[in-house]
Amino acid sequence: MKSFKKLGYIAIVALGLFLLAYLYSVFFKPTAYGSANTMGMMILGLILGGLIVFLIVKLLSKKQSEIVAESSHTVVESMRKVFKIVCAEGQFQEIYNYEQTKKLLKFIPSTKKALVIVKAKVLIGYDFEKCKWELDEENKQMKIVSFPEPEILSLEPDFKYYYFEEDLFNFINREDLEKIQIQGKKQVENAALQSGLKSIAAEQMRTVLTEMVAANRWTITNPEMLTLPLQTATKEKRE
């Protein structure tokens, strides 16, 4: 397709040269009086101007076709049943400042920086596979043997890069971006664990489980097992 276009342009140029030669022989060839034809100059100018405008319009309106080929392969690695309950949800926004300095020739500092805002939705709840209890069906009583602390079940971060600063010999590469995402996610995770979400999740689970058991006319002999440990709750309040 491109070769045909090139041949077309060459043909247009050749035709233009031929037309110029013809017009010159008709209008611009010196007469017996040694003067050129003014009308011929005007016609030649109009033809040349039209030809130039035509070529410019064609070049500007030329659209390059782009072919995009996409393919994907999905592989299911594993599937299993789980019993997890979400009891608290939090929205977090963290500002993460990344800076790395290295020295060239052991004395010339070279620094690169990045400012990233991490927005994340954090879901905290319980994995009931870690729970253990004993049932007394005759007396309709349930004794909790072990009940885990609430944990992060899902963390969905969104990274927005607002500022980059690079040095001549210290550029931000793909490894730096991976480090930024890993550290930014850890920062959000720590903030979620230090917030009051775990206490909210524990209180929510205690209410739901107690009401569910009472609805079936059962009782929990040790409901204090559903309460967040005092040291963890105190740490959250302090933070």
Residue 207: which of 68, 87, 42, 64 has the closest Cα? Answer: 87
Domain that holds residue 23: 2-60
Q: Supply the pLDDT for residue 73.
A: 77
Q: Which amino acid is at 74?
A: T
- 156 & 190 share domain: yes
Q: Supply the pLDDT for residue 1.
A: 46
**pLDDT for 66-111, tens place per residue?**
456 777 778 887 788 888 889 999 999 988 888 888 777 777 777 8
- 170 & 233 share domain: yes
**pLDDT for 184-235, tens place per residue?**
899 999 999 888 899 999 899 888 888 888 888 888 888 888 877 644 444 5
Residue 75 lies in a domain: no
Which residue has better confidence, 21 or 145?
145
What is the spatial order of strands in the sheet that 151-165 belongs to?
84-104, 108-127, 151-165
Q: Supply the pLDDT for residue 152.
A: 93
- 23 & 125 share domain: no
Q: Quick check: 63 pLDDT over 60?
A: no
166 burial via Cβ count (<10 Å: 0-12, 13-18, 19+): middle
- 109 & 54 share domain: no
Residue 201 lies in a domain: yes
